[in-house]
Amino acid sequence: MSVDILDVGSGNIQSIKNWIEKANISTRVLNKASDIKSTLLILPGVGSAGSYMKRLKLGRFDEAIFEHVDKGGRILGICLGFQIMSAYSEEDGGVEGLNFIDGYVERLQGNASHNSWEPIYVRRDELEGQSFNRQMNLSKKRILDGRVFYNHEYGFVNKEENSFSIPVSDALPKYSGLLVKDKIIGMQFHPEKSQITGLELVSMIL
Amino acid sequence: MRVGSTVLLKEQLCVQSYGWNMMRPLGSLQGVLDSLEEYQCDEVAIIRPVRKNDTLSLFGQDLQILRKIKTMTPISFGGGIRTIEQLKLLKGLPIERVIFSSAFLEKKNELVTLAKDLFGHQAIKCLLPIGYHDGTVCVYHSSEEKYLPLSSVDTQFIDELANEVILFDMFHEGSRDQFDWSILSEIPFATDKLIISGGVGTSTLRIARQKKVASVLIDNKVLHQEYSIFGYKHA
């Protein structure tokens, strides 16, 4: 198991590193696209979609991410890193995403801001149709039942039929909070800042 | 409603403050964060209580402490972020949200907009040290060490750029249940955008829930009984 964390110039990289290393897995923080060599690539994400995609393209990270996926590597996108895996985000006047997942990102209904802890419940057997699941070997844990921290203004509307998705919350059922499709996993919440549940989750997905 | 804590970071150590003035030491930042995380504190706002005489060097020294922390609790950080040079130093720190105070009062559009690009609009908080001064609701302008009448503050600018606004009752900070709710009648922001801090106790929490504010940050007196955070959450 090797984990690379992509550093495109913003984001709480140190928190992601700390989170993964709590599971006794070493990480590398990369700021050069050609350095990606891991089995799991993490796209952390804070900032706005427009400037994030601009930085991805400037550093040719987008091409390297496609190459990583073509070679069978797994990807974990967190928050904005999850959103840019869609086809399109309406943030910053409209931004084209990486289009790994059929879906789009829109401003939360009612122009709301969602800064909150929400309950999460995931049964591992529900992920069996996704190849991501076959590489989850670190823990035999089968059920995740806890709470996770959200801080976002845009939400991911999933259109992918053959994917596993759970909504952000009862109040925001339109948007995916956790989405797994093949070798790609996206989290709208911040697992690295979700305390005990974040720790349980990292041992489930690695 | 979230229940968190403010943590004041002064010269690389945490301090407890009374009335935004008297301070006594509480220990290392990592120790404080570990204590709060143990009792599932929802969020922590780390604030440098700096005034006019803050320097880039002092700012950098505090950031060195911040850079080393290991925590899985959501962190906001602010206090003395007044230039783009300082903002860029926040890159890679284990923080999710950025707090500005003087920058909002001085309408530093370029600085706050750059922060929005780097951290996202959802990450921008405005801190207003607030209270009645000479019978008028005033905001303390830290970098100029003076009180401004709230009426002179461009609240529309704040409303547009800040995702949430921390109302920090500076005259009741460190006291129990003395947060001055009358301030809210003068505040033009939506209640669900407000974070209440200063003079928080269990009664304050109950009122905050009724008013549906976004969050309550308990003064860091909670650190003398950090286990009480659990009680506050269920107040």
Please check whether residue B34 is in contact with residue B68, taking contact to mean a CB–CB distance below 8 angstroms: no
Q: Which residues of B touch A11 (CB under 8 A)?
A: 92
Q: Which residues of B touch A9 (CB under 8 A)?
A: 91, 118
> pLDDT of B120-145, one tens digit each?
899 999 999 999 998 899 999 999 99
Query: Could you tell me if A23 lies within 8 Å of chain B, comparing CB atoms?
Result: no
Nearest to A46 by CA among A74, A2, A77, A88: A77
Nearest to B72 among A13, A19, A151 (CB): A19
Q: In terms of DSSP H, where are the helices of chain B?
A: 29-38, 56-68, 84-88, 102-105, 109-119, 155-161, 202-211, 228-233
To the nearest whole angstrom, how far is the Cα of B116 from the nearest Cα of chain A?
A: 7
CA angle in degrees (0–180, nearest 5) for B62-B106-B77? 30
Is the per-residue pLDDT at B235 higher than 80?
Answer: no
Nearest to B116 among A7, A48, A80 (CB): A48
A51/B94 Cβ within 8 A: no
> pLDDT of B36-76, one tens digit each?
898 889 999 999 999 998 999 999 999 999 999 999 999 99
Residues A55-84: what's their mean pLDDT?
93
Is the per-residue pLDDT at B233 higher than 90?
Answer: no
User: Residue A111 — very low, low, confident or very high, per pLDDT cuts 50/70/90?
Assistant: confident
How far is it, in rounded angstroms, from Cα B24 to Cα B154?
34
Is the per-residue pLDDT at B33 higher than 80?
Answer: yes
Query: Which 8-state DSSP code applies to residue A190?
Result: B
Query: Could you tell me if B119 lies within 8 Å of chain A, comparing CB atoms?
Result: yes
Query: Could you tell me if B2 lies within 8 Å of chain A, comparing CB atoms?
Result: yes
> pLDDT of A24-39, one tens digit each?
889 999 988 889 988 8
To the nearest whole angstrom, how far is the Cα of A37 from the nearest Cα of chain B?
A: 22
Query: Could you tell me if A189 lies within 8 Å of chain B, comparing CB atoms?
Result: no
> pLDDT of B113-126, one tens digit each?
999 988 889 999 99
Name the residue with higher pLDDT: B224 or B126.
B126
Rounded to the nearest integer, the mean pLDDT of chain B is: 91
Would you state the pLDDT for residue A76? 95
Would you state the pLDDT for residue A168? 97
Please check whether residue B180 is in contact with residue B208, taking contact to mean a CB–CB distance below 8 angstroms: no
> pLDDT of A45-62, one tens digit each?
878 899 899 999 999 999
